């Protein structure tokens, strides 16, 4: 496994024993990664599967609530520029695979959200209203800029989830864990797709960087943090200080926190000339594909 620690985190703990994930898949011709359709069943997922902790679990539920509408927005934003990719068949096919992966993510998170309780719908609707507003009021290029910024979030979070074996030990449900790992693998696989479209259509460095601060403010301040608080409140756990304390330790500890650990990679966005592939995740991906039993790694030689 690639143990290169890009964020100065503590060494990874002993790998947890994770069962393979049954998934059918196909390779869009010329695409460097496949579209997988995993078989997931959340019927036995415990209510608080993440560390037996309501705050941690509701935080994951809050994230999950954003994916169906959020990722549809990313797909639409990229699809709007498909015509401009006529001269680059490889990128055009990669976009097809990106669209396929994101569509499967929307599907599985909708499936997961249905079992996570009605409160998740509050957060999903908030995201739906926001994406509708953005589609209506932002030009296509700005939607693409928002998408590459949000994809930097999902790629950074995915990569760090794959690296943080110590956090996997807190997962109490194999299906929820495999959904998040599968999603993390695919966000890492397609981390450069929307970005390369942006570059191909002449997106500027200044606009790329300028969009990140408002996107971060909206993601954290309007979506993720309010949703975590609201879902926790609706469970009657808002004043469960033990749960909040443990969640803060897992997510925000100055040295071992999950989010603290990814700050350096997040801020890499602001380096002139940044590209998502600056962080080499190939061996990390190869290792995780093998562990989840996914066939293939890089694109096969023949299609
Ligand atoms: Fe996704
Ligand atoms: Fe993505």
Place of tokens 């359709």: 37
Q: What separation in Å is there between the alpha carbon of 68 and the centre of ligand 1?
A: 9
Quote the ligand 2 centre to 77 CA distance (angstroms). 12
Query: Would you place residue 65 in the very low, low, confident or very high pLDDT band (cuts 50, 70, 90)?
Result: very high
Share of the chain above pLDDT 90, in %: 84
Rounded to the nearest whole angstrom, what is the distance from the C-alpha of residue 240 to the centroid of ligand 1?
Answer: 31
Predicted local confidence at residue 13, as pLDDT? 41
Q: Are 228 and 58 in contact (CB under 8 A)?
A: yes
Q: What's the rounded Cα separation, in Å, for the pair 278 and 156?
A: 12
**HSE of 181 in the Cβ direction (CA atoms, 13 Å)?**
31
Distance 67 CA to ligand 1 centre (A): 7
Predicted confidence (pLDDT) at residue 2 exceeds the cutoff of 50:
no
Residue 62 Cα to ligand 1 middle (Å): 15
Q: Which residue has the tokens 């599985």?
A: 108
85 alpha carbon – ligand 1 mean position (Å): 22
**pLDDT band, residue 4 (cuts 50/70/90):** very low
State pLDDT tens for residues 44-61: 999 999 999 999 999 999
Its pTM stands at 0.91
Lowest mean pLDDT among 92-96, 106-110, 115-119, 293-297: 293-297
Name the pLDDT band for 18 (thresholds 50, 70, 90): confident
Which DSSP helix (H) or strand (E) runs through 65? Answer: helix 54-79
Spans of all domains in the chain: 52-278
Q: How far is the CA of 155 from the centre of ligand 2 (A)?
A: 7
Q: What is the mean pLDDT of residues 73-94?
A: 96
| Stretch (H or E) spanning 229 | helix 225-234
pLDDT range class, residue 29, cuts 50, 70, 90: confident
Which tokens is 280 given?
Answer: 């080499």
Residue-level pLDDT at 15:
52
The reported pLDDT for the residue numbered 9 is 43
35-38 and 23-26 beta bridge pairing: antiparallel
Check if the beta carbon of residue 265 is closer than 8 Å to that of residue 7. Answer: yes
Q: What is the pLDDT of residues 164-211, one digit of tens each?
A: 999 988 999 999 999 999 999 999 999 999 999 999 999 999 999 999
pLDDT of residue 299: 55
What are the structure tokens assigned to 148, written together? 């590459």
Kindly report the number of other CB atoms within 10 A of residue 133's CB atom.
10
Closest by Cα among 61, 285, 75 to 159: 285
State in Å, rounded, how far the first CA of the chain is from the last one.
Answer: 28
Tokens found for residue 161: 């989830």
> What is the architecture of the domain spanning 52-278?
Orthogonal Bundle (1.10)
């Amino acid at each position: 496994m690639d143990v290169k620690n890009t964020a100065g985190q503590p060494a990874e703990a002993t790998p947890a024993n994770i069962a393979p994930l049954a998934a059918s898949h196909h390779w869009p011709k010329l695409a460097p990664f496949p579209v997988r359709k995993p078989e997931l069943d959340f019927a036995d997922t415990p209510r608080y599967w993440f560390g037996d902790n309501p705050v941690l679990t509701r935080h994951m539920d809050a994230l999950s609530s954003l994916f169906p509408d959020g990722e549809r927005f990313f797909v639409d934003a990229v699809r709007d520029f498909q015509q401009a990719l006529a001269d680059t068949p490889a990128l055009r096919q990669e976009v097809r695979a990106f669209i396929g992966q994101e569509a499967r993510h929307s599907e599985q998170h909708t499936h997961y959200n249905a079992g996570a309780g009605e409160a998740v719908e509050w957060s999903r609707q908030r995201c739906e209203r926001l994406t509708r507003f953005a589609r209506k009021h932002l030009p296509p290029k700005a939607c693409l800029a928002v998408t590459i910024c949000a994809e930097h979030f999902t790629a950074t979070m995915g990569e760090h989830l794959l690296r943080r074996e110590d956090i996997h030990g807190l997962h109490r449900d194999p299906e929820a864990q495999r959904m998040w790992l599968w999603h993390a693998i695919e966000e890492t696989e397609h981390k450069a797709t929307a970005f390369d479209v942006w570059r191909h259509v002449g997106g500027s460095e200044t606009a790329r960087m300028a969009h990140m601060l408002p996107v971060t403010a909206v993601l954290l301040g309007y979506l993720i943090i309010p949703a975590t608080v609201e879902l926790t409140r609706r469970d009657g756990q808002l004043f469960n200080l033990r749960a909040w304390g443990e969640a803060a330790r897992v997510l925000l500890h100055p040295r071992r926190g999950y989010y603290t650990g990814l700050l350096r990679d997040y801020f890499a966005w602001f380096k002139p000339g940044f590209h998502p592939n600056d962080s080499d995740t190939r061996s990390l991906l190869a290792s995780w594909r093998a562990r989840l039993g996914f066939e293939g790694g890089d694109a096969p030689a023949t299609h």
